[in-house]
Amino acid sequence: MTSTPVKTATLPWWKTTTGYQIYPRSFCDTNGDGIGDIPGIISKLDHLADLGIGFVWLSPVYRSPMIDNGYDIADYHDIAPEFGTLDDLDRLIAEAKARGIGIVMDLVVNHCSSEHAWFKAARESTEAPEHDYFVWRPPHPGNNAAPDDTQSNFGGPAWTYEPQVGKFYLHQFAKEQPDLNWDNPALRAEIYKMMNWWFDRGIAGFRMDVIDLIGKDVDNGILAEGPNLHPYLQEMHRETLAGRDVLAIGESWSVEPDRGILYSGRDRKELSMVFQFDHIKAGWHPVIGKWKPLPFDLVRLKASFFAWQQALAEDGWNSLFLTNHDLPRQVSKYGNDGALRVRSAKGLATVLHLMKGTPFVYQGEEIGMTNVNFDSLDRFRDLELFGHFPIAMNEGQSEADFIAGANDNGRDNSRTPMQWTDGPQAGFTTGTPWIEVNDNYPQINVAADRQTTDGIIAHYRRLIDLRKHLPIITDGRFVAVSEDDPAVFAYARELAGQRLSVVANFTDDTVTYDVPEALSVTGDCISWNADPRDRLDGTVTLAPREAFAVLSEPA
Ligand code: TEU
Ligand code: CA
């Protein structure tokens, strides 16, 4: 149904297309072990092709003890048996390619698994060449304890003692995820060789896990965006990306708008774009963090998106996303996941997809999947949550409050199985899923959404298709409006005398919106989730959660 993307010589393919993230463990299980697998992904490629997706970001499928569901890699050149084989992956690359879809692999190289051969050798002896692939420090001279009090992102100390070598190693995540020492040139060469090995297999790019952490200066306590980050990214570019028509997306929790350009500026020769998280942190408690629910603040959310749109207006490139496998479901977090769920899911998509950048759809978003409502800790699975629970208890938070926080912001929200049908386990597995299926699957599933002509999938399909054909979506100048309006998210895009006006009511009430000058007047309503609008003039009455986009010639 979708037509060939309009490509111009100046636009790389990843600017006119849309990405789709797959969390393999939760996507589709074909052998009944309760764990999604690569054959399952292959069986669902037509769903993605029908949406018009240009590439898939595949969360890690490499061999791994799965302490952090694959973000702990034991072998970068092999596939986890629960997900399949290298042959399956080659088949996935080929089958996806046949549908015009590239496969973007997850590159997790700030750390590996403690089961990786490198770390096994490194912890045996200081003489092993691999010893220096990791970050070791002697015990603190005063008390023989950890070198300093750096904390792991998953709770507890970031240093673990290894008696065999008499030193501590750094792990910014779980102790089974030792940090790699990027200051060792041999390690860097190994990583580049591995990346090229994957490129030669035909992948379309990499999403680079916590890439802002690789340039760390541990002794000065600088972990994120350390002094060597950009030199290493430039070296990586020279050694792997240069001369290849591939996509490189770096994950950076630390980047702020003024530094975005350093990663993706056209003369930087580093990455295509970064995933930044300011709009996500906007939904966290400033002191207690993600485990404390915080009321939604539209003005803050817009400020974040608008700042990034402006920062990368002339150079660099944005990624656009509201959800991933670490984040809550967007319709629950930013929208209405009750009576107005369908309209709200569409509205969020409209606002996100028509900004400047490359949009990402996270599995299940296209049917408006919602957060879970787990009432006890044993129903959760994520190690981050279990690492932080004792800390929260020590700090005096109640268990009920912590669970409320986990249902609001926890990573398991997006990891419950993809809901395909209203059959047993939502059609995800014939066995017992590794994490419970959300109990709303009889209503919310792919088959049900596809049964209506105006489902959420149809809405995404249209947005994705518009991006392929309308240069104003890829190239248009971004114009922020109504920054302080607590109810409406609106902006314009402008290109060659055309204007695209996007307006969305983020509340459950009818809102009277006084349309500012910068938005236009008459034109074609190219996207809507309530009534189509062909005139946008003066004051507009917006239905609850209504969103639309109008393409026009300015008056
Ligand atoms: O995430 C980086 C990361 O910092 C998040 O885990 C973050 O700590 C958390 O969501 C915020 O509370 C990446 C991966 O996306 C994540 O799945 C991995 O667990 C992590 O790196 C370690 O590889
Ligand atoms: Ca399976």
Span from the CA of 83 to the centroid of ligand 2 (angstroms):
6
Q: How far apart are the first and last CA of the chain?
A: 34
Q: What is the pTM of this model?
A: 0.97
DSSP string, 240-281: IITTS--EEEEE-SS--HHHHHHHH-TTT-S-SEEE--HHHH
Provide the percentage of residues in the chain whose pLDDT is more than 90: 92
Q: How confident is the model at residue 4 (pLDDT cuts 50, 70, 90)?
A: very low
Provide the percentage of residues in the chain whose pLDDT is more than 70: 98
3-state secondary structure of 305: helix
Contacts of 132 (CB under 8 A, 6+ apart): 122, 181, 184, 186, 187
Span from the CA of 255 to the centroid of ligand 1 (angstroms):
15
Average pLDDT over residues 476-486: 98
CA-only gyration radius of the chain, Å: 23
Beta strands 524-528 and 477-480, pairing class: unpaired
Q: How confident is the model at residue 422 (pLDDT cuts 50, 70, 90)?
A: very high
Residue 536 has pLDDT above 90, yes or no: no
Instruction: Output phi, psi for 121, to 5 deg.
Output: -70, -40
Cα separation, 55 vs 52, whole angstroms? 9
Q: Which residue type is seen at 81?
A: P
Report residue 540 CA to chain centroid gap.
Answer: 34
* Pocket lining: 37 vs ligand 1, CB cutoff 6 Å: no
Residue 3 has pLDDT above 80, yes or no: no
Which H or E run includes 407?
helix 399-409
DSSP string, 148-195: S--B-TTSSBSEEEETTTTEEEE-SS-TTSPBB-TT-HHHHHHHHHHH
Q: How confident is the model at residue 9 (pLDDT cuts 50, 70, 90)?
A: low
Q: What is the pLDDT of residues 47-102, one digit of tens each?
A: 999 999 999 999 999 999 999 999 999 999 999 999 999 999 999 999 999 999 99
Q: Which residue type is seen at 247?
A: L
DSSP state for residue 60 in the 8-state scheme: -
Token pair listed for 460: 């995404």
DSSP H helical segments within 290-382, as ranges? 298-311, 330-333, 341-353
DSSP state for residue 411 in the 8-state scheme: G
Average pLDDT over residues 263-283: 96
Which H or E run includes 459?
helix 456-469
Q: Which of 64, 173, 327 to mutate to test the pocket of ligand 1 (most atoms within 8 A of CB)?
A: 173
Question: Quick one: 555 exposed, middle or buried, by C-beta within 10 A (0-12, 13-18, 19+)?
Answer: exposed
Q: What is the pLDDT of residues 340-386, one digit of tens each?
A: 999 999 999 999 999 999 999 999 999 999 999 999 999 999 999 99
280: closest CA among 248, 253, 261?
253
Nearest atom within ligand 1 for CA of residue 326: 10
Catalytic residue list contains 209:
yes
What Å distances lie between residue 202 and 198, 272, 398, 475, CA to CA? 7, 18, 50, 29
Q: Which residue type is seen at 471?
A: P
* Pocket lining: 210 vs ligand 1, CB cutoff 6 Å: yes
Residues paired with residue 502 on neighbouring β-strands, in sequence order: 491, 549
DSSP state for residue 496 in the 8-state scheme: T
* Pocket lining: 209 vs ligand 1, CB cutoff 6 Å: yes
Q: Which of 251, 326, 337, 412 is catalytic?
A: 251
In which residue are the tokens 């002094």 written?
A: 227
The pLDDT value given to residue 1:
34
Cα separation, 487 vs 493, whole angstroms? 20
What Å distances lie between residue 157 and 135, 150, 308, 410, 456, CA to CA? 14, 6, 33, 21, 44
The pLDDT value given to residue 6:
47
Q: Which of 37, 209, 270, 366 is catalytic?
A: 209
Q: How confident is the model at residue 288 (pLDDT cuts 50, 70, 90)?
A: confident
Nearest atom within ligand 1 for CA of residue 68: 19
Residue 291 has pLDDT above 90, yes or no: no
Q: How confident is the model at residue 287 (pLDDT cuts 50, 70, 90)?
A: confident
Beta strands 358-362 and 319-320, pairing class: parallel
Residue nearest to atom 14 of ligand 1 (CA): 209
Q: How confident is the model at residue 235 (pLDDT cuts 50, 70, 90)?
A: very high
